[in-house]
Amino acid sequence: MPPLIYPIAVFDTSFINLPHLPLATYLIGIGDALIVHPLYQDMPEGMPHGTEIKEVSTRYHDLTYAVMTGASAKKAERDAYRDKAVQVTSLALNWAGMRFQRDGDLKWISNLGVDQKKKAAPRASVPVPVGAPDKVKVSHAKNSSALHFDLGKVPGAVTYYIQACQGDPNDESAWNKEWQFTRIKGGVEISGLEPGKVYYFRVRCLGHAGLGPWSTYVNIMVV
């Protein structure tokens, strides 16, 4: 893996030691922060911007989940995207660190989705397994064929997975649709469902210790 580039030392870079999926989620968060940060709307030519960081990290995230669910042939591609995601994030943070060192203004290194050096590492030393979501509410969204989900926050969760089936919910093979979300504040929406059909839904989370159990399923007719 390529080394982190300095003067990035103003940041706590211990996130690089996170497992694949939590790392991908963390890097996506840095990309999101750079996209909206007023000081990083115009990056120098050749310097990665927030959109690029988010795109590469999202691809890394998706490849990681694919490998976790059995696509072992994608391991090499996943590892390559890990290196690429770390590299583009490091370059952007390096630029932020240099601007801070030159100007001495904390605005250059604040609200970037990454802790500064003096703060604690972003994860606990001993990963704690996540539990099953116990607050899953589904309702009709404003748009036809769409549903709105309110998911209670699960301690330690970094990604939420919603699965659906239209058949017997006791038949595992019937659960053949899945969506994933890294942010659930305010609820999430799923669209493109078939009106007039009853769907069953269940939710589980991924934490630093791996995947947790599924929630109790809920059902609703799509309109």
Q: Do 21 and 65 form a contact (C-beta atoms < 8 A)?
A: yes
- Shared-domain flag, residues 66 and 150: no
Instruction: Of 78, 36, 87, 35, give the one whose Cα is nearest residue 60.
Output: 78
What is the C-alpha separation between 207 and 158, in angstroms, rounded? 6
Is the separation of the CB atoms in 163 and 202 below 8 Å?
yes
Q: Do the domain assignments include residue 91? A: yes
pLDDT at position 123 over 70 = no
pLDDT > 60? residue 205: yes
In a domain, 128, yes or no: no
Structural domain ending residue among the three candidates 52, 74, 109 = 109
Same domain, 85 and 148: no
pLDDT at residue 124, as a whole number: 47
Residue-range definition of the domain harbouring residue 181: 136-221
> Does 2 map to a domain?
no
Both 105 and 142 in a single domain?
no
Q: With bands split at pLDDT 50, 70 and 90, how would you rate the model's confidence at 6?
A: very low
Neighbours of 17 (CB within 10 A): 10
Residue 191 has pLDDT above 90, yes or no: yes
Q: Are residues 93 and 141 in the same domain?
A: no
| Helix/strand number for the chain, H first, E second | 3, 8
User: Residue 8 has what pLDDT?
Assistant: 60
Domain boundary among 66, 93, 109: 109
Predicted confidence (pLDDT) at residue 2 exceeds the cutoff of 80: no
Residue 124 within any structural domain of the chain: no
Residue 144's CATH number:
2.60.40.10
To the nearest whole percent, how much of the chain has pLDDT over 70?
Answer: 92
**Domain contains 62:** yes
As for how many domains the chain has, the answer is 2
